[in-house]
Structure 1
């Protein structure tokens, strides 16, 4: 019997069976022509979102912010970035989602704030300010020649050091990300209480149904701040995730979030509120399970990023965008690992292949040329929608949006990370120390940069794809006339229509698709990805062709075809970039 049949292990709750739809507010819909997407624009499209068949909306940061890191640098948790709208607009969005039987979750960004946040301004004002210890401040070190040096040699996520010198108080402050994003000191209990009040209770009291928790495993640092081992002799900064990821008190902090805040709230229809954590740099299943075991009362589920990191160097390293070609068996092993790790446990998992921090799935994992992009989008949709866990869809994925054209110059890339990596790549190419680095990093950014997901949503064939009547903050994709929601809503054979059909099937057959056990078949096949899903006596077989050539596929005599991404199938082969589902019930 499947371990998933044990209700003590996998108790059925709404968020396990839900399909979540992520909205990136800057790029979804601009209602007033200023070039920025906004909350009223989302409200205009609420019927569209509901028509997809999703159960919840995840709204990426809309809080007040200087926008150095697109809203992940928050200057006021209790206010909305004015181009996005107002707190009242968010309250209307909460009501609209609930009226359409959808829940709404917000981003919880509490590893760091903006340097423009009132807390940091106070902390920075003097060494004896009551909020000084709400952030990490440390004195300089000095080398043998008397040159000032940061407290550690840690390399940050966006390249460069994790410490910035403050002239006013003559100390350095810590920032794992951009220098405008100082890290909060979770060791300080007053700081934690302020976070719970301002970033969480303020919005939960307004009716939000939970949080996607940003950088959730970085709150606890090794506060002795040791130097990292030198793994890159050519650099003055070194990768140091072992000192600020999954730190010594991280589980205490997350348990406290639950006990102090989340356990006291319910969704609008009386269900438990949900948390999904962004859990990077945690490769072991045992380590992930510590966060998502129901008995531990920490997080409901997490995003584990092996799938989006295929071909990518380690996050935070100088090789992150130095792309390495990968083979299909590597993807299969990643999927198998994170589909199987919850079996026999009380943990849960997520299913996704796109978000705001990665290139588009069609361009990353399949084929985005005009001949194959629709077939690729449908095949990938089927691949992931049939997997066990909570399903997450990123805006534009449902219409098969693809990466920015390779002809675009780096000037079109807006993301702080992409621009930092690009500047870092130019130097060794020009000084001759690594002549091909510029070319390699350009290729990596063209595939994997965060900007690709942030291009404006393509609503129709009008100017800027119907996103805005003004000049968009980021250029609209050149192919908006060919790829847009309006055209696909009228086409029963479109990518959009296929996604809607998949979501219906997933709900109708949730036993096997949401809760079923996963078995990988033919793991070393370089062309096809075939897996089996089972729940008690119910079985589904999923077959996927990742190539642009037909692939042999034996008949399945004891099963019947439930769905194909092609309108007509062949009995003995999978057609190019075809996906199929067979069932025995």
Structure 2
């Protein structure tokens, strides 16, 4: 057991000033945005695949948890070469998920419960099955200029066409695909079935605005912009430089071998999103209702990421997703988690809203990267931070990556044959609702992906019945996030030792909350008087990890000047309040 002192503490204090809570347009600033990978959430018709009606049947789950907004992965008509991120019709629902009546019913039921719904906006590329692309292949105007076509650089000794330059697809291989009918290459920064739009084309821009308006009228409350850093490419189609000149001579190039200065993060991306934002703001004025938000999926460096916030006079998105915490793996230290939190806070433009993300459909679940105990206390810290918290389905019960055999794989990373065993299916295993067949996900004998074998004990219904479960802790945290202190209060972080970390949230006239976590493998002991910022005589347990030994609503007396030793077990966490 170690006694730690604040003499070795690192302390950072930040103040957040949010606008009035009475402004309905600020609904998103402290929301919990819950991602539903539709195919894996709930099957309503017994075909083994999740669908829109399945979500509708489970909306009260969110009400019970205190979730206020949901984000849906693509449900548009698609051949599913990239699990729906290859759209063949932007205004139709794929039959796999239902129909437009099902979607309209879902929106209606979401609004009836005072919730909001955000959908994916996939406009960097579409499917090669889209009518626009088919017409472009045949040079039917104006679609002939909807995509990026280039002549061959030449032909090799076998008569095969040579791509226009050395650009590489994110999914591997050349970013150029030869079309024998048009006798030109088309650009695809992702799978070869996903041709990139020519977003400099005014007609294409107008098509994107029509898509926005269509779903705006349908009642969605926001758009998650997919892959925006790939929107524009160098107009001169110059070769991209190698990161390692030695590898230049060896061949076998991958996407990570290049510095993508000509295919990512071009300034026109921000200008185009600004154009969409202004268009949507105008729709808002004419049609009324609450503010619709734009969120950017920005896998880029900090400067480019922060540019998605825009400025007061140049609006881009409401916020870009913060993926800084996604990379956390064992061993997690107090300094590491604090530095990742502070990196976002200190780089974020003044007055903007932060957000926090631990898991999504493209990354391994936190329970599988760290441990159940670490995942619990990491989430505890994140849930008590200011701003938006982004959650992934199943995170409320601590779901782990599923087990998927090679012959069961559905996602082949964009259909690349060379990478057929690289898959994102592990983090997309079906939701574990109960301990019945297939975890209550489907009545079919077989789900589209195998159910994780932990479902018999790791499921919603079982955890709802347990007073000290992950689910119960999560529900307590959503309750705390709804308090004025957590919405509008000051944030203070304290690095007590290598493993001990404290977050406090304070707001004059309201209770103060303290998150105390021990990321280390040993018992740690602190004197509470060293870290309590309020003049209080009692602290109350608001929630805790199952292994902490602290019980909900247990009270601690603070008696100055005597030491108030507070013991934290390994890998444990607790939230205390000044509520007496």
Q: Distance in 1 between matches of 2:508 and 2:468?
A: 33
Q: Distance in 1 between matches of 2:216 and 2:577?
A: 41
Instruction: Give deviations 1:173-229, integer Å, cap 9, x for gaps.
Output: 1111111111111100101101111x2111111111111111123222222121111
Distance 1:130 1:289, change over 3 A: closer
Q: Distance in 1 between matches of 2:141 and 2:19?
A: 52
Q: Match of 2:122?
A: 109
Which of the residues 476, 494, 497 maps onto 1:501? 476
Q: Match of 2:527?
A: 554
Q: Match of 1:320?
A: none
Distance 1:302 1:187, change over 3 A: same
**Match runs of 1:45-194 below 5 Å:** 45-126=58-139, 129-142=141-154, 148-194=161-207
Q: Match of 2:365?
A: 360
Q: TM-score, normalised by structure 1?
A: 0.84
Q: Match of 1:346?
A: 351
Q: Distance in 1 between matches of 2:101 and 2:362?
A: 28
Contact 2:270 2:316 in 1 (8 A): yes
Give the C-alpha shift of residue 132 in structure 1: 1.7
Q: Distance in 2 between matches of 1:411 and 1:552?
A: 50
Instruction: Give deviations 1:490-523, integer Å, cap 9, x for gaps.
Output: 2222211211111111111x43x34445444338
Larger displacement relative to structure 2 (375-384 or 78-87): 375-384
Q: Secondary structure at the match of 1:270?
A: coil
Distance 1:55 1:296, change over 3 A: same
Q: Distance in 2 between matches of 1:60 and 1:267?
A: 28
CA RMSD in angstroms, aligned pairs only = 3.0
Q: Distance in 1 between matches of 2:59 and 2:441?
A: 15
Contact 2:15 2:491 in 1 (8 A): no
Give the C-alpha shift of residue 2 in structure 1: 5.9
Q: Distance in 2 between matches of 1:269 and 1:573?
A: 53
**Match runs of 1:123-522 below 5 Å:** 123-126=136-139, 129-142=141-154, 148-197=161-210, 199-230=211-242, 231=244, 232-233=247-248, 234-236=251-253, 238-265=257-284, 270-284=289-303, 287-310=305-328, 329-342=335-348, 345-364=350-369, 366-367=370-371, 373=372, 375-405=373-403, 408-417=404-413, 420=416, 423=418, 450-470=424-444, 471-508=446-483, 510-511=484-485, 513-522=486-495
Give the C-alpha shift of residue 584 in structure 1: 5.4
Q: Secondary structure at the match of 2:528?
A: coil
Distance 1:216 1:518, change over 3 A: farther
Instruction: Give deviations 1:31-81, integer Å, cap 9, x for gaps.
Output: 111111011111111111221111111111111111111111111011111
Query: For structure 2, which runs of at least 5 residues remain unmatched after alignment?
Result: 1-12, 551-555, 557-564
Q: Distance in 2 between matches of 1:410 and 1:268?
A: 49
Q: Secondary structure at the match of 1:356?
A: coil
Instruction: Give deviations 1:5-33, integer Å, cap 9, x for gaps.
Output: 3749x998110021121111100011111
Q: Distance in 2 between matches of 1:325 and 1:355?
A: 21
Q: Secondary structure at the match of 2:117?
A: strand
Q: Match of 2:29?
A: 16
Larger displacement relative to structure 2 (212-221 or 167-176): 212-221
Q: Distance in 2 between matches of 1:332 and 1:72?
A: 34
Q: Distance in 2 between matches of 1:21 and 1:91?
A: 19
Distance 1:554 1:69, change over 3 A: farther
Contact 2:31 2:389 in 1 (8 A): yes
Query: For structure 1, which runs of at least 5 residues remain unmatched after alignment?
Result: 312-323, 368-372, 426-441
Contact 1:221 1:248 in 2 (8 A): no
Q: Distance in 2 between matches of 1:97 and 1:267?
A: 23
Contact 1:24 1:59 in 2 (8 A): yes
Q: Distance in 1 between matches of 2:384 and 2:310?
A: 21
Q: Distance in 2 between matches of 1:94 and 1:399?
A: 25
Give the C-alpha shift of residue 156 in structure 1: 1.6
Distance 1:7 1:31, change over 3 A: closer
Q: Distance in 2 between matches of 1:52 and 1:58?
A: 16
Give the C-alpha shift of residue 296 in structure 1: 2.3
- Say yes or no: does 1:575 pair with 2:569: yes
Q: Secondary structure at the match of 1:211?
A: strand
Q: Secondary structure at the match of 2:480?
A: helix
Q: TM-score, normalised by structure 2?
A: 0.84
Larger displacement relative to structure 2 (482-491 or 92-101): 482-491
Larger displacement relative to structure 2 (224-233 or 65-74): 224-233
Q: Distance in 1 between matches of 2:176 and 2:415?
A: 19
Q: Distance in 2 between matches of 1:219 and 1:175?
A: 11
Contact 1:529 1:545 in 2 (8 A): yes
Distance 1:424 1:32, change over 3 A: closer
When Rg is computed on C-alpha atoms for both structures, the one with the higher figure is 2
Give the C-alpha shift of residue 554 in structure 1: 3.5
Instruction: Give deviations 1:135-184, integer Å, cap 9, x for gaps.
Output: 11111113786763212212221122211111111111111111111111
Contact 2:14 2:492 in 1 (8 A): no
Distance 1:258 1:89, change over 3 A: same
Give the C-alpha shift of residue 348 in structure 1: 1.9
Contact 1:339 1:388 in 2 (8 A): no
Contact 1:351 1:388 in 2 (8 A): no
Q: Distance in 2 between matches of 1:418 and 1:73?
A: 9
Q: Distance in 2 between matches of 1:137 and 1:325?
A: 48
